[in-house]
Amino acid sequence: MVDFTLTDEQLSMREMAHDFAANEIRPVAWDYDRDATWPGEILEKAWELGLMNTHLPVEYGGAGLGTLDSCILEEEIAWGCSGIGTSLSCNGLASAPVLIAASEKLKKEYLGRLSEAPLLASFCLTEPDAGSDVSGMKTTATRKGDKWVISGSKCFITNGEYANWYTVYAKTDKDAGHRGISCFIVPRDAGVVVDKHEDKMGQRASNTATITFPEVEIPLDHLVGEENKGFKIAMTTLDRTRPGVAAMGVGVARAAMEMAVEYSKQRVQFGVPIAMHEAIQFMIADMATKVHLSRLATWNSAVLLDQGKRNTIESSHAKRFAADTAMEVTTDAVQVFGGYGFIKEYKVEKLMRDAKILQLYEGTAQIQRLVIARETLLPRRVEQPAAAAH
């Protein structure tokens, strides 16, 4: 049988993360959103409490938590503010390629930096002309003596202005499409330039920037994995991190549902609270179902990783469904509020703006459907499920 009953330790972690979100994040989240300011103090507090870098193995100074553990925490943080949650969890995305394929020397040096101080790292894959089409990237890496020379630009980089180091994908064979991409670690002090700060619709507390590498030189040993094998590293990375994005979708949707439930009990129309009207009840019921199923899909995709199994289709299911759920539930929550939902005084509108990016980053909803279709039409051998998952 499959068992998603949380352990006492997991329940305790969830309570700690919820308290942090309720007491440290929510009271200031809407101010950070309004001003699009950097939540540095909150990130430092999160680091001190062990809410950052939960994915890092113990041997590199991390907590060594599993994927499911991290998803439980990420849902609560996103319930507080998904913009702050994105900044807080980005180290997981940037360091995943390092954990997957880097040398032991690179792991100790760069993962160690994240555990020794509240530093940040960024994942640099997307370019102006290479979003879903990764093979269209123009950033290059060329050997020059005992150095790699990185030349190009990356856009939509989370924590880009504040990162201590970057995981960068570049073409090492310009004519080989996705088979000519390699992965590198680039320290900020190697000459990385921050070109642009993005002014966004939602998740405004999360820093997003354009980063340029103007013939930046790094040592040859800063290649992550094998030359021209970067595409596989990137795709494996996203399989690992999409459950976390799905968990954030659950957190955003849950927050919106709770706001809609509370408001529907207080708002009186036609002599009764609108929660008494069947039309509103059906909307709330649909929200509850979607949040519940999104969480189950998220946990399933996470548990497979914790069991050492391939989770490509499950992580795409979870990410696609939870992101779509976040958009649908927040939109319906605004509808429950009526005209007040469109006013910034009522905080539900922020959740609707925040939700949209979940359908876009780390693989758009359409890309997830392509992955799901491919895996469904050309299925691999089905593995026998484990007896239980904790």
pLDDT in tens, the chain (390 residues): 468 899 999 999 999 999 999 999 999 999 999 999 999 999 999 999 999 999 999 999 999 999 999 999 999 999 999 999 999 999 999 999 999 999 999 999 999 999 999 999 999 999 998 889 999 999 999 999 999 999 999 999 999 999 999 999 999 999 999 999 999 999 999 999 999 999 999 999 999 999 999 999 999 999 999 999 999 999 999 999 999 999 999 999 999 999 999 999 999 999 999 999 999 999 999 999 999 999 999 999 999 999 999 999 999 999 999 999 999 999 999 999 999 999 999 999 999 999 999 999 999 999 999 999 999 998 775 444 333 333
The pTM for the full model equals: 0.94
What the block records as the tokens of 339 is 């005209």
Region label for 121, one of left (φ > 0), alpha (ψ between -120 and 50) or beta (otherwise)? beta
**121-228 maps to which CATH number?**
2.40.110.10
Q: Known catalytic residue: 258? A: no
Torsion of CA 213, 215, 220, 225, to 10 degrees: 40
> Looking at residue 1, what is its pLDDT?
44
**8-116 maps to which CATH number?**
1.10.540.10
Residues across the chain: 390
> Looking at residue 12, what is its pLDDT?
98
> Looking at residue 381, what is its pLDDT?
58
Catalytic residue among 258, 362, 375, 383: 362
Reported as type and span, the H/E element at residue 181 is strand 181-187
CA angle, residues 133, 53, 134, in degrees to nearest 5: 5
- 231-377 CATH pick, 1.20.140.10, 1.20.120.530, 3.40.50.1980, 2.60.40.10: 1.20.140.10
Torsion of CA 58, 61, 65, 70, to 10 degrees: -160
> Looking at residue 144, what is its pLDDT?
97
Reported as type and span, the H/E element at residue 256 is helix 230-266
> Looking at residue 339, what is its pLDDT?
97
Q: What are phi and psi of 29, to 5 degrees?
A: -60, -40
Structural domain spans, the chain: 8-116, 121-228, 231-377
